[in-house]
C-alpha cells in the first residue's frame, strides 16, 4: 500500500496515466491561479440569487429561524469539504468527482458519478439562462421600457451565446470578464447586511429566535418548528450547489493540489458566514416577529424593500443588475464544469472521443463547448413552447392560446435546478463514501476515525434531509400520505415527477456502462485513470 508521502511525491496511483504522457488533447496547463479557482467556486453558488430567491421561502417554512437553517446546511457542506479536500490533494483531474470515485467505489459507480454530474451541470446552465432571461427581460421592460421580441427566451439565448464565447477562448478570459460582477453581487449583500446590523434592524438584534427552534414557531410558518427547519434545509443546501465547480480545474490550475482544496473549502466557509449573516440581517430588518407575515409574504420584492429602506434606491438598482449578472456568471461556471466532465469522459473513450478534443490555440475543450451550448439552446426552445393556465397546475405544449400563456423563465429554472440538485446530492454522498475507502486502500497511514468516518457520516446525514424533502412527498400511496401528515407538503405537478427524470438518467447510465463493459472492456478499464501527476 502506498503511503501518503509516496502518493504526494509521485502524484499518481499505480495504473494511472499522467495527463502529460497520455496520448490525448490537453487543456491549457497552469493558466489560472487560486483566485481563478475561487471565482468559479463562488460564481457557481451565485450568492445574491441564493439569498434573494431562497431566504423568503425558507422563512415561510422555518419562520425567523432561517439563519439556523443556513448554519446547519453549511456545517453539512463544510463536513463534505473535508472529503473533497482530502481527495483533491491526491488526485487532480478535469474529471473531478468522477475521477475521485473511480479510485474508491469502482468504475461502475464512478461512471454514475460523472454521468450524474454531467447531467446536472447540463441542466443547470439552461435553468440559469431561464432565470437570466426572466430577470433581464423584466428589468429592461420596467426601467428602460425596452421589450425585446421573444421576451425572456431571446435574453436566454443571448446569455447562452455570451457563455459560449467566454468559454470557447482561453479559460482565463472567463475570470477576467465576469469577476467584476461577482465582486458587485457580494458587495451589494455585504453593504445591506452591514447597514441593517449597525442600525439594529426594525426592533433590535435577536439571537434566541434566529438561532433556535423557538423562532420557527411563528404563526403562519408552514410547517414551522423543528420540521420546518429540516424542510428549509432543502433550499439551504441548494444555495451552495455549484461550490464544487473548482474541482474540475485540476489540470488548468497552478499548484492544483493546493489551489483546488483551498478554494473549495474556503468558499464553503465564506458562504456560511455570508448566508447566515444575510438571512439574519433580513430577519431583523423586518423584525423577527414579521419573518412570515411581511418578509416571506412578499418574496419577489422583500430584499428590494430592505435595500431601499435601509440604504437607498441606488442599492436596489445595483441589486437588480447583480441578479442578472449573477445568473450569467453562475451559468458560465456550470457550463465550464459540464464541458470538462464531457471532455474527461471523451478523452478516455467512455463517451465519443470527439468530446475529448481541445482547440489547437486556446486549449479549450471546444467540441464539448459547442455540444453543451447547442443542448442549452434546445432546452430553451423546448420550454419556450411550454404553456400554463394562470393560477393552475394545468400545462400545455405549443403556442399560447385558449387561456394558456407561455411560462416565465423562472419556471424552467425551478424545474431543471431541482432535478440537477437531486443528482448533485447523490454524488456528494458518493464522495463521502469514496474518501474513507480511498484512505483505507491507498493511504492507510493517514486514516482517522474522525476525518474518515464521523465527518463523512454526519455530512451524509445532513445531505439526506434535502434529498428526502425532494422525494418523499412525491411517493404515491400510504407512504406518501404518511410523510404528508408529518408536514411535508404534497408536491404539485410537475415538480412531483422531477425525481423520475433523475431516476431515468441513472438507469440510462447503468445500461450504457454495462454495454461499454461488455463491448469494449479496454475502454472501460481506462475509466477515471487519467490524472495530473506533477506536484507544483
**Running along the chain, 536 residues long, what does each successive block of 10 average in pLDDT?**
49 60 69 86 90 91 95 93 85 69 83 88 92 91 90 96 90 78 93 97 94 91 85 86 78 81 90 97 96 91 94 94 90 88 84 90 90 97 94 88 91 89 91 91 86 93 83 74 72 82 94 89 69 51
SS3 call for 223:
coil
Q: What Cα–Cα distance (Å) separates residue 431 from each residue in 60, 102, 114, 438?
A: 32, 10, 12, 10
Alpha helix stretches (DSSP H) within 89-171: 97-102, 107-143, 152-168
SS3 call for 194:
helix
Q: Report the distance separating Cα 271 and Cα 506, nearest Å.
A: 30
* DSSP label of 496: G
Spans of all domains in the chain: 4-385+398-531
Residue 192 and residue 55 in contact, taking contact as beta carbons nearer than 8 Å = no
Backbone dihedral angles phi then psi of residue 179, each to the nearest 5 degrees = -55, -40
Q: Report the distance separating Cα 209 and Cα 199, nearest Å.
A: 19
- Kindly report the number of other CB atoms within 10 A of residue 443's CB atom: 22
Q: What Cα–Cα distance (Å) separates residue 91 from each residue in 143, 249, 411, 484?
A: 49, 12, 38, 43
Burial (0-12, 13-18, 19+ Cβ within 10 Å), 66: buried
Q: Report the distance separating Cα 161 and Cα 157, nearest Å.
A: 6
- Kindly report the number of other CB atoms within 10 A of residue 145's CB atom: 7
**Which residue do the cell numbers 449583500 mark?**
189
Cis peptide before 284 (omega within 30 of 0): no
Question: Residues with Cβ < 8 Å from 322, sequence gap 6 or more?
Answer: 48, 181, 184, 185, 188
* DSSP label of 295: I
**Which residue do the cell numbers 493511504 mark?**
443
Q: At what angle do helices 256-286 and 47-62 cross, to 10 degrees?
A: 50
pTM, to two decimals: 0.86
Residue 351 and residue 131 in contact, taking contact as beta carbons nearer than 8 Å = no
Q: At what angle do helices 172-199 and 34-45 cross, to 10 degrees?
A: 60
Cell of 474: 412525491
Which run of H or E residues covers position 405? Answer: strand 405-406
Output the pLDDT for position 4.
45
Output the pLDDT for position 492.
76
Closest by Cα among 122, 119, 116, 121 to 426? 116
Backbone dihedral angles phi then psi of residue 529, each to the nearest 5 degrees = -100, -10
Closest by Cα among 468, 536, 463 to 237? 463
Cell of 487: 408536514
Burial (0-12, 13-18, 19+ Cβ within 10 Å), 383: buried
CATH 3.90.1150.50 is right for the domain spanning 4-385+398-531:
no
Alpha helix stretches (DSSP H) within 25-93: 34-45, 47-62, 66-88
Amino acid at each position: 500500500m502506498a503511503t501518503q508521502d509516496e502518493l504526494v511525491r509521485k502524484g499518481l496511483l499505480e495504473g494511472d496515466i499522467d495527463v502529460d504522457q497520455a496520448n490525448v488533447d490537453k487543456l491549457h496547463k497552469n493558466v489560472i491561479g487560486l483566485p481563478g479557482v475561487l471565482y468559479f467556486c463562488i460564481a457557481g453558488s451565485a450568492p445574491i440569487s441564493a439569498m434573494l430567491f431562497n431566504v423568503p421561502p425558507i422563512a415561510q417554512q422555518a419562520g425567523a429561524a432561517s439563519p439556523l437553517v443556513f448554519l446547519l446546511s453549511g456545517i453539512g457542506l463544510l463536513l463534505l469539504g473535508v472529503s473533497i479536500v482530502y481527495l483533491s490533494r491526491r488526485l487532480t483531474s478535469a474529471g473531478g468527482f468522477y475521477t475521485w470515485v473511480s479510485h474508491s467505489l469502482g468504475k461502475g459507480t464512478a461512471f454514475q458519478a460523472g454521468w450524474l454530474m454531467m447531467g446536472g451541470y447540463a441542466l443547470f446552465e439552461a435553468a440559469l439562462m431561464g432565470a437570466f432571461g426572466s430577470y433581464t427581460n423584466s428589468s429592461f421592460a420596467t426601467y428602460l421600457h425596452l421589450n425585446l421580441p421573444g421576451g425572456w427566451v431571446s435574453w436566454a439565448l443571448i446569455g447562452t451565446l455570451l457563455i459560449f464565447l467566454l468559454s470557447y477562448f482561453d479559460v482565463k478570459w472567463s475570470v477576467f470578464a465576469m469577476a467584476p460582477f461577482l465582486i458587485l453581487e457580494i458587495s451589494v449583500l455585504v453593504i445591506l447586511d452591514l447597514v441593517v446590523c449597525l442600525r439594529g434592524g426594525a426592533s433590535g438584534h435577536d439571537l434566541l429566535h434566529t438561532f433556535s427552534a423557538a423562532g420557527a414557531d411563528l404563526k403562519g410558518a408552514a410547517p414551522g418548528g423543528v420540521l420546518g427547519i429540516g424542510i428549509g434545509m432543502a433550499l439551504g443546501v441548494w444555495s451552495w450547489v455549484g461550490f464544487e465547480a473548482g474541482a474540475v480545474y485540476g489540470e488548468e490550475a497552478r499548484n492544483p493540489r493546493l489551489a483546488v482544496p483551498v478554494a473549495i473549502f474556503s468558499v464553503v466557509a465564506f458562504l456560511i458566514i455570508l448566508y447566515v449573516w444575510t438571512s439574519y440581517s433580513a430577519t431583523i430588518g423586518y423584525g423577527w416577529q414579521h419573518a412570515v407575515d411581511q418578509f416571506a409574504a412578499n418574496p419577489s420584492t422583500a430584499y428590494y424593500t430592505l435595500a431601499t429602506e435601509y440604504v437607498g434606491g441606488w442599492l436596489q438598482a445595483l441589486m437588480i443588475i447583480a441578479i442578472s449578472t449573477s445568473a450569467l456568471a453562475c451559468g458560465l461556471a456550470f457550463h465550464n464544469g459540464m464541458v470538462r466532465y464531457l471532455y474527461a469522459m471523451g478523452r478516455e473513450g467512455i463517451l465519443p472521443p470527439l468530446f475529448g478534443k481541445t482547440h489547437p490555440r486556446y486549449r479549450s475543450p471546444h467540441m464539448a463547448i459547442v455540444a453543451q451550448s447547442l443542448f442549452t439552446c434546445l432546452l430553451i426552445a423546448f420550454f419556450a413552447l411550454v404553456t400554463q393556465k394562470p393560477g393552475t397546475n394545468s400545462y400545455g405544449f405549443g403556442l399560447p392560446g385558449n387561456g394558456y400563456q407561455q411560462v416565465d423563465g423562472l419556471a424552467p429554472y425551478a424545474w431543471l435546478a431541482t432535478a440537477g440538485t437531486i443528482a448533485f446530492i447523490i454524488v456528494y454522498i458518493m464522495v463521502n463514501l469514496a474518501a474513507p475507502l480511498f484512505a483505507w486502500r491507498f493511504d492507510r497511514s493517514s486514516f482517522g476515525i474522525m476525518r474518515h468516518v464521523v465527518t463523512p457520516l454526519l455530512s451524509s446525514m445532513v445531505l439526506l434531509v434535502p434529498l428526502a424533502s425532494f422525494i418523499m412527498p412525491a411517493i404515491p400511496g400510504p407512504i406518501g400520505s404518511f410523510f404528508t401528515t408529518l408536514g411535508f407538503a404534497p408536491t404539485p405537478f410537475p415538480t412531483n415527477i422531477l425525481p423520475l427524470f433523475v431516476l431515468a438518467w441513472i438507469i440510462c447510465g447503468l445500461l450504457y456502462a454495462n454495454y461499454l463493459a461488455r463491448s469494449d472492456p479496454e475502454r472501460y478499464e481506462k475509466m477515471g485513470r487519467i490524472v495530473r501527476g506533477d506536484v507544483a
